[in-house]
Amino acid sequence: MKRRLVELSGGQRQRVAMGRAVVRDPALFLFDEPLSSLNAKLRVKMRSEIKALHQKVRKTSIYVMHDQIEAMTLAVRIVALNKGKIEQAGSPLELYRNPASFFAATFIGYPSMNILDGIVVETSDGS
């Protein structure tokens, strides 16, 4: 490569960082907001590149991200954290279809789940 790191675009820097990590052959990868500095078009491309990389190297990868669409796209399993506590863990579809908490219900999915306040009242006939 003839260019220095500071001369590369955000997407190119991201690829260089991932390449450096892969050649070290770690037991697992930790990606902290891997797509946050990229524009929308490049984010889509990098999502598919990250997914392909994961399938090729077959290593555990942990992604820290606040973008739930990216999480749903990349993940095999999602751990939804709220203030440092696990709210729910499971497959993306499991979290989407069966949220275990108010936080998980309002975090996963776009648009977010509608929440209505209500009171359950039992009638005299038991219904």
Is residue 34 domain-shared with residue 96, that is, in the same domain?
Answer: no
Residue with tokens 């973008």, as numbered in its chain: 67
More confident residue, 72 or 83: 83
For 100-120, what is each residue's pLDDT tens digit? Answer: 999 988 888 777 788 889 998
How far lies 81's CA from each of 16, 89, 119, in Å? Answer: 29, 9, 28
Q: State pTM to two decimals.
A: 0.70
Q: Which residues face 78 on adjacent strands?
A: 90
* 119 in any annotated domain: no
Looking at the structure, do residues 63 and 92 belong to the same domain, yes or no?
A: no
Residue 61: inside a domain, yes or no? Answer: yes
Domain that holds residue 24: 1-74
Tally of domains in the chain: 2
Average the pLDDT over 4-15 and give the result: 79
